[in-house]
Amino acid sequence: MAFIDYYKILGLTKDASENDIKKAYRKLARKYHPDLNPNDPVAEKKFKEINEANEVLSHPENRKKYDTYGEHWQHAEEYEKAKQEQRSRQQNQRQYQSASGGYSEEDFSDFFRDMFGGGDFSGNQGGRSHVRFRGQDYNARLQLDLKDVYTKHKRTLTVNGKNIRITIPAGVENGQIIKIKGYGGQGVNGGPNGDLYIEFSIVNHSKFKRDKDNLYTTVDLDLYTALLGGNFVVDTFEGQVKLTIKPETQNGTQVKLKGKGFPKYKKEGQFGDLYVTYQIKLPTHLSKEEKDLLKQLQKLRS
């Protein structure tokens, strides 16, 4: 794996502060942003490099690993584990030497020759390793409208410069994360690729409120239909449905439309329910005749 100097990409030195990194990233990101450099492959490549450098250096833990292990920073934990095993082996060798009176320093280096092919794993550019390591996992965030995830559909994403065609199941929830196996970073020395994790951000511009598989909506019902009964048309995601209103329906009455809610995730043909709440809307700007009739009704009711 070629060594990438993230500090050089951002025009910084290793003693740069967190604030220095933030300022440099913002300045360069504005300069090379695709919106300001349309159809410019050089700017596009530079923009990706800047984002990659910022992702590593702006994260204290990742920066520490990068400063220590260079291009192998993603495998710092594996190296530390291997180093610990080597120390343990040395300790065992010393105990054996104490008992038998003989050992060779070369024995201690066998472990790293076996593990790393005799190469240097200190993060230097000249270091080489024959150990197979799994590639880095990638994380992406995809924003969709609620109506987009009502049906299963395909979408093309661009991740790390590659176009990926994925199928988005109906019923995906806000904050849900799905894994696309093998679409992360490339493995090292023939190791397996990492995975791509996509987090969904669902925005809702509809009149419905979603709670998992169920939908909720409130509709205005005129006073006369509420008192006398009748028919009323409500909207659903699949079109309009005619409801029968019972006479003397009270304000706040809720009815359930079974199977008219949201699709259940990865359950083909299964849906939640739609709950409709009636909000009685009182008439305004009454005429003299209407007021007289209401007064008569008031006397009858009293």
Q: At which of 188, 203, 218 does a domain end?
A: 203
Residue 237 · residue 147 · CB < 8 Å? yes
Position 117 scores a pLDDT of 41
Which residue bears the tokens 């909207």?
Answer: 235
Position 96 scores a pLDDT of 52
> Is the domain of 145 the same as that of 161?
yes
Domains in the chain: how many in total?
Answer: 3
> Is the domain of 145 the same as that of 110?
no
> Is the domain of 62 the same as that of 149?
no
Half-sphere exposure of 197 (CA within 13 A, CB side): 9
> Is the domain of 69 the same as that of 145?
no
pTM: 0.55
> Is the domain of 183 the same as that of 253?
no
Specify the amino acid at residue 163: N
> Is the domain of 160 the same as that of 242?
no
Q: Is residue 178 part of a domain?
A: yes
> Is the domain of 193 the same as that of 217?
no
The token pair at 36 is: 């300001």
Position 94 scores a pLDDT of 62
Annotate the chain with DSSP letters as a single string: -----HHHHTT--TT--HHHHHHHHHHHHHHH-TTTSTT-HHHHHHHHHHHHHHHHHTSHHHHHHHHHHGGGGGGHHHHHHHHHHHHHHHHHHHHHHHHHS---HHHHHHHHHHHHTT---SS-TT------BPPPPEEEEEEEEGGGGGS-EEEEEEETTEEEEEEE-TTPPTT-EEEETT-SSPPBTTPPP--EEEEEEEE--SSPEEETTEEEEEEEEEHHHHHH-EEEEEEETTEEEEEEEPTTPPTT-EEEETT-SPBPTT-TT-B--EEEEEEEEPP-S--HHHHHHHHHHHHHH-
Position 3 scores a pLDDT of 60
By C-alpha distance, which of 50, 55, 24 is closest to 37? 50
Q: What is the CATH number of the domain that holds 98?
A: 1.10.287.110
> Is the domain of 110 the same as that of 21?
yes
Q: How far, in Å, CA of 60 to CA of 73, rounded?
A: 13
> Is the domain of 196 the same as that of 151?
yes
Report the DSSP beta bridge partners of residue 138.
Answer: 196
Residue 199 · residue 178 · CB < 8 Å? no
Q: Is residue 141 exposed (0-12), middle (13-18) or buried (19+ Cβ within 10 Å)?
A: exposed
Position 116 scores a pLDDT of 41
Position 128 scores a pLDDT of 45
> Is the domain of 199 the same as that of 152?
yes
Strand, helix or coil for residue 142: strand
Name the strand (E) or helix (H) holding 126. none
Q: What is the mean pLDDT of each run of 10 residues along the chain (302 residues)?
A: 76 91 90 84 87 88 82 70 68 58 47 43 46 83 91 86 87 91 85 89 92 94 93 92 94 95 92 96 91 90 81
Position 111 scores a pLDDT of 44
Domain range for 181: 138-203
Position 114 scores a pLDDT of 45
Contacts of 107 (CB under 8 A, 6+ apart): 93
Q: How many CB atoms lie within 10 A of CB 142?
A: 16
Q: Is residue 293 part of a domain?
A: no
Position 45 scores a pLDDT of 87
* Backbone dihedral region for residue 31 (phi beyond 0: left; psi -120 to 50: alpha; all else: beta): alpha
Q: What is the CATH number of the domain that holds 213?
A: 2.60.260.20
Q: Is residue 70 part of a domain?
A: yes
